[in-house]
Amino acid sequence: MARPRHRSGNLPAETTSFVGRRRELAEIRKKLSTTRLVSLVGPGGVGKTRLALRAAADLGRGFADGAWLVELAEVRDGALVTNVVLGALDLRDQAATTPLQILTSHFGERQVLLLLDNCEHVIDSVAQVVTQLLRAAPNLRVIATSREPLAVPGEHVVPVPPLALPDEDGRASVEQLQQNEAVMLFAERAAAASGSFELSGANQVTVVRLCRRLDGLPLAIELAAVRTRVLTVEQILERLSDRFGLLTGGARVALPRHQTLRNTIDWSYELLTAVEQTVLRRLGVFAGRFTLEDVGGVCTFEDVLASEVLEVLTSLVDKSLVTKEDVDGVACYRLHETMREYASVKSRAADEEVRLAERCLEYYRTTCTSAAAGARYCLPEWLLWAEMEIDNIRAVLQDCVARRDSARGLDIAASMRYYWITHGTTESLGWLDQFAGSGEASPQTQVGAFYLRGWLSVLQANPVAARPWLARAVAVARDSQQLAQLAESLAMSANVEHMLGDAAGAGRLLEEAEAIAVDLCDYVATIEVLQARTVHAFFGADMATATAVSSEGVRLSREAGDLYVLEFMLRNLGTVAMLGGDLAAAKARLSEALRVARQIDQRFAEYFLLSGFGSHAASSGQARRAARLFGAAASVGAGAGADNRGPHAPFLAEAKESATRALGEAKFGAEFDAGKRLSRQAAVR
C-alpha cells in the first residue's frame, strides 16, 4: 500500500524576485494565526496578488493539504464562482451534487489555505461562498484579494498601500536607497530588462524622483523599468512628467493614485507602434488565457494581419504589457486585470467593442463546433484545449445570454459535451436549459443538445428528468432523418427505461436502435448501441452477453481511438470477470480501464474503478486492502460529486460488507479513513 499523499497545492512558481512588504507579510501571518479570513484590500496595480502569493507560499507549508490559488479575474458571472474554485482544486462536478456541496465535502476536516484572487467584480458571490465554506470546514483558512472588503463576519482586512517611498530631499546614500522598497523594485526590474542598469550616485536622484512620481505603485514602476531597454532613467522621468504635467495643467499637485497608474499605462501605450496598440486593446476581449491562434482568429481585421500576430505578441510580452505562460506545452498569454480593463476602455473609445465581441463569439462558436466533431477520437488533447479555453467559452456563453442569441449559445454549449461530462455536469445544465428553447438552432444542434441534456441527467441518476429530453432528441432526429443520432438517442433512452424499471420498454427501444445501426454501418451508432446492450445485459444478469458485447466494444473503440467508450467497455469486462471468479482477468481489465480513465481524467469512472479494485481485494481475501481502496474511491467520488449507483451497485455493496465483516467495523473504518488520505495515483499503482 502506498504512503499517504502530500499535497502542496497549486501556487505558481515565482518568476521574478519579491521585493519588500515585510510589514504586510508579518501582519498577514499574525492575523491568520488568530482568524480564518484575511482580505488584502487596495487599488489595482498596488501589488495585492503578488503579496498574497508570497504570503500563501510562506504560510502554505503549515497546511497539511496545501495552499491553493483560485483566480477569479476571468469570472464574469458570480454564479460560476464555485465552478472556478472546483477547477482550481482539481475537483470535478460530475453528478447531482452541487459544486458548493462538493467543496464543503472536500474541505471537511482538511487543513487548507485558499487564496481567492481578484474578488471585487463578483464580491457578493464570493462573500456567500466563503461564509458557507468557513462554516462547514473548521480547518480552512482564506486569503482574499479585492479592491473592497468582502464584508462578512470574521473578516480581517489588511490594507495594501503602495511601496514605501524614499525621502524627496535626496540626502540618502546609495546604500540606504537600496533598502527602500520602491527603489529596490525599480532597480531590480531595470537590471533584468536592460541587462546593465545599476543604481549609482549618478542616477540615484532621478530614480528617487521617478519612484515618487509613480507613487510607489508596483505595476507603474515595473512598466517604467522595462523601458530602460531603450531609454535612460532621465528620459523616462521626463516623458512621464510631461504627461502628468499636461493632466494637471502644470500645477504642482498630487495626482490620485489611480490616475498615476492610468497615465503610466497611457505612456507605455503611446510608445507602442500602431499595430501593437491595436492588438493590445483588442486583447481585452478575452476573459482568460488566449493562444496565438485565438488572437489570429479574433483580433486580425482591417489594419492587423495574421502574419504580424506572433511578432506583436512577442513585443508586448517583452514590454511587460502581456504575460506569457506555458500550459501543458502550449504557449498562451493573458492580461493583468488592470491591463484588461484598460484595453477594454481603449477598444470602446476606438468604436471596436461591439464588432470585437461579435468576432469573438463567432470565432468560439466555429472553433468549438469544429473541434467537437472529432473530440471523442482525440479526447486527452481536446480536454486540455477545453480546460485552457473554458474562461473564454464561459464568457461567450454569457454574451449569448445577454444578446438572447440562443441558437449560437446552444451550438457552443452542445459542442462542449465531453467537457461537461467530465468536468461540469451541474454548470452545463444551466447553459443548456437557458438555450434549449431556441427554435432557430439547426436540427443537428437540437438533437445533440437534447441528447446531451438527457445523458447528463442519466449521469446524475435522474432518469425521470432524462426521459423527456431524450424523447425530444428522438423526435427531432427522426423528423430530420439524422439516423446515427436517432440510434444514439434510442440507445440512451433504453438505458433510462432500465433505470425506471421498464425492461420490456428498454428492449423495444434497443431493438429499433440496433436495426438502424446495422443498416448504417456507422461507428457512433454502433458503439452507442453496444454500450446500451451491455447495460441491458447487466440489468438482466446476462453475463455471457455482457462479456461478448463488451469485448466487441473494446475492439471497435480501441481501433477508433475512442477512449471514453474503451474505458467503459474494459470496466464492464473487469466486472464480469470478477463476478465470474476470474480474479486475474478482472485485475487486468480493471487496471487497463484505470489507465485509460486517467488519460482522459474521467473521475466518475475512476471512482467506480477504485471501488472495483476494492471488490477485487475483498474477493481475494485482502480485507485491509479492500477497505483502503473503498476509502480511496470515496475520496475520488466526493471530489467529483459521484456516488455508487447503477447495475454494479449491489455487487460493490456486497464486497464492502464482506470486508467489514472480516475486519470488524472499527478496523474497517480506520483503514477506510487511511484510504481516503491516499492520492489518486497512490491508491493503485
DSSP code, position 122? G
State the CB neighbour count (10 A cutoff) for residue 357.
18
* Distance in angstroms (rounded) separating the CA atoms of residues 509 and 278: 57
| Rounded mean pLDDT, 119-143 | 95
pLDDT digits (tens, 9 = 90+) for 418-462: 999 998 788 999 999 999 987 789 999 999 999 999 999 998 889
Mean pLDDT of the residues in the chain: 90
Residue 180 is placed in which grid cell? 527602500
Residue 576 is placed in which grid cell? 464480469
Confidence check: pLDDT of 13 > 90: no
DSSP 568-624: HHHHHHHHHHHHTT-HHHHHHHHHHHHHHHHHTT-HHHHHHHHHHHHHHHHHTT-HH
Q: Which amino acid is at 154?
A: G
Confidence check: pLDDT of 180 > 50: yes
HSE-CB at 60 with a 13 A cutoff on CA atoms is 21
Instruction: Assign 6 a pLDDT band (cuts: 50, 70, 90).
Output: very low
Confidence check: pLDDT of 230 > 50: yes
* Distance in angstroms (rounded) separating the CA atoms of residues 399 and 438: 16
* More confident position, 359 or 603: 359
Q: Can you give the pTM of this predicted structure? A: 0.87
What are the extents of the domains in the chain?
A: 22-159, 174-270, 276-310+321-386
Instruction: Assign 641 a pLDDT band (cuts: 50, 70, 90).
Output: confident
> Which ranges constitute the DSSP H helices of 480-502?
483-499
Instruction: Assign 2 a pLDDT band (cuts: 50, 70, 90).
Output: very low
Q: Which amino acid is at 357?
A: A
| Rounded mean pLDDT, 114-131 | 95
Output the pLDDT for position 684.
Answer: 66
State the CB neighbour count (10 A cutoff) for residue 209.
18
Architecture of domain 22-159: 3-Layer(aba) Sandwich (3.40)
Confidence check: pLDDT of 647 > 60: no
Q: Cα 606 to the chain's mean position, in Å?
A: 19
Confidence check: pLDDT of 251 > 70: no
Confidence check: pLDDT of 4 > 90: no
| Rounded mean pLDDT, 497-508 | 94
pLDDT digits (tens, 9 = 90+) for 520-546: 989 999 999 999 999 999 888 899 999
What percent of the chain clears pLDDT 90, i.e. is strictly above it?
A: 62
CB 590 within 8 A of CB 568: no
CB 382 within 8 A of CB 370: no
Of 527, 494, 486, the C-alpha closest to 510 is: 494
| Rounded mean pLDDT, 665-673 | 90
Instruction: Assign 608 a pLDDT band (cuts: 50, 70, 90).
Output: confident
Confidence check: pLDDT of 7 > 60: no
For residue 196, give Cα distances in angstroms to 27, 169, 187.
36, 27, 10
HSE-CB at 447 with a 13 A cutoff on CA atoms is 21
